[in-house]
Copies of this chain bind each other. A is one copy, B any other.
Amino acid sequence: MAKQDSEMLKGVLEGVVLAVLAGRPAYGYEITADLRERGFADLAEGTIYAILVRIEQRGLVDVEKVASEKGPPRKVFTLNDDGRAQLAEFWTTWSTLADRLEALREKGK
């Protein structure tokens, strides 16, 4: 991935994962595949797992082990109330930043 891309993801990726989980419960591998389809093509698998560990430790998700037909048991993550609150905060932070950047860009023209 280009360096600029990955740096810009910092502070955003966690919100992205929360947003995916807001749609439905999911496990790590599934989330990675999902995001890759959504344009985050070069996402490293390990990155997603690291984020999941983080948000689990912060208590933003509930976790359940589910046996899988293929490979080891899946760790299914479900967004809880704290997680939803965090996601809402993420979107407002994002919007504020996006607005400021848009203003800067307009001015430059």
Question: Which residues of A are interface residues toward B (Cβ below 8 A)?
Answer: 2, 4-12, 16, 19-20, 22-23, 38-40, 89-91, 93-94, 96-98, 100-101, 103-105, 107-108
So how many copies of this chain end up in the complex?
A: 2
Enumerate chain B residues within 8 angstroms of A103, measured Cβ to Cβ: 38-39
- A8 adjacent to B91 (CB under 8 Å): no
- Tell me if B108 and A23 are in contact (CB < 8 A): yes
Inter-subunit contact B100/A39 (CB<8 Å): yes
Known contacts A100-B39, A103-B38: does B12 contact A8 (CB below 8 Å)? yes
Other-chain contact of A108, B5, B22, B101, B105 (Cβ < 8 Å): B22
Query: What residue in chain B is nearest A10 (Cβ atoms)?
Result: B10
